[in-house]
Structure 1
Amino acid sequence: MKSFQDHLKIVNNFHELGETIKVAQFLIQEYGLENPNFKGFELREKAKPEFILMTTEGALGEPQIIRIPENTFEYPLELMLNLLAHEMIHVSQKTKENRIEDKNEREWQAYYEMLFHKIFPQIPEVADFHKRFFAKKALEYFNRMGEGSQLQLKYAAQKLEVDYLLLILE
């Protein structure tokens, strides 16, 4: 695999050419994010620094499309890679084999991955500011699972990891 700096140069070149989808496809291959349930990328409206929206769309059990902002690569590459990994977690959660019905569980798993990179270890770390944000979002979804629910019990050990990370970052 190329170095992060090499990837950054390639991303900037593609971005200057307006090839957002091509560079996103390149990155999922380079960072091992591929999934057979992934149908492709589509562009959405431009993102703003305070709100970068990527979504995974498609019926559960069917191939998924990830919609990314047309200006995705104007933002830090580390952050964009983490957001792409988040969406690729959703792609795998929506396969016939791994089907996860509960949205709170899907989001918990995706945010947990952004913090600890257990499935995609090659994804780079983000700034502490973003880690705090992701950890708080993860905890929001954990709390929505229901106090003492089976899902909360299932993820209790991971929640302790998130709590500890927040403690370190505060």
Structure 2
Amino acid sequence: MKTYQDQLQIVHSYHEIGETIAAAQFLIEKYSLTHPNFKGFELREKAKPNFILMTTEGPLAGPQIIRIPENTFEYPLHLMLNLLMHEMIHVSQKTKENLIEDKNEREWQAYYEMLFHKKFPQIPELPDFHKRFFAKKALEYFNRMGEGSELQSKYANQKLETDNLLSFLDAKTK
């Protein structure tokens, strides 16, 4: 595998010539994020520094496309890799074999992976301020599962890990 710096240079080269989709494809292959249910990338409107939107679109149990901002690679590569991983998790969640119909559960699983990298340890860790942001997003979806629900019970241990991470991050900033 090429070094992170080599990959960064390749991504920047693609970005400079307007090949955002080629850069994203390169990354999902290099980081072993590919999935048979993935149909491809499409571009969407430019992201803003405080709002980077990527979405996974397609019918449940059908092929999925991921829409990424045309300026995706103007932002830090470690963040973009985590966001691409998040969307590729959604691709796998929308297969016949692994179908997760509840959106809150899908989002919980994807945000949890962004925090702890249990399925994809090869993805670079996020800085603390991003971890804090995504932990709070994860907890929003956990809370939407319904207090005391079966889904909340299923993810109770992961929620505890997330709460502990937030407490740790908060203690570091004091």
TM-score range, shorter chain: over 0.9
1:110 CA displacement: 0.3
Between the aligned partners of 2:3 and 2:151, the Cα distance in structure 1 is: 38
- Which structure 2 residue ranges, 5 or more long, are not aligned? none
Partner residue, 2:58:
58
- Indicate the RMSD between aligned Cα atoms, in angstroms: 0.4
Partner residue, 2:48:
48
Q: Give the SS at the match of 1:129.
A: helix
Q: Give the SS at the match of 1:99.
A: coil
Partner residue, 1:125:
125
1:107-130 C-alpha deviation (Å, 9 max, x unpaired): 000000000011111000111110
Partner residue, 2:81:
81
- Which structure 1 residue ranges, 5 or more long, are not aligned? none
1:1-42 C-alpha deviation (Å, 9 max, x unpaired): 111111101011110010000010000000000000000000
Q: TM-score, normalised by structure 2?
A: 0.97
1:138 CA displacement: 0.3
1:87-138 C-alpha deviation (Å, 9 max, x unpaired): 0000000001000000000000000000001111100011111000000000
Between the aligned partners of 1:65 and 1:48, the Cα distance in structure 2 is: 22
Q: Give the SS at the match of 1:43.
A: strand
Q: Summarize the alignment of residues 17-166 of structure 1 with structure 2, pairs less than 5 Å apart.
A: 17-166=17-166
Between the aligned partners of 2:162 and 2:131, the Cα distance in structure 1 is: 10
Q: TM-score, normalised by structure 1?
A: 0.99
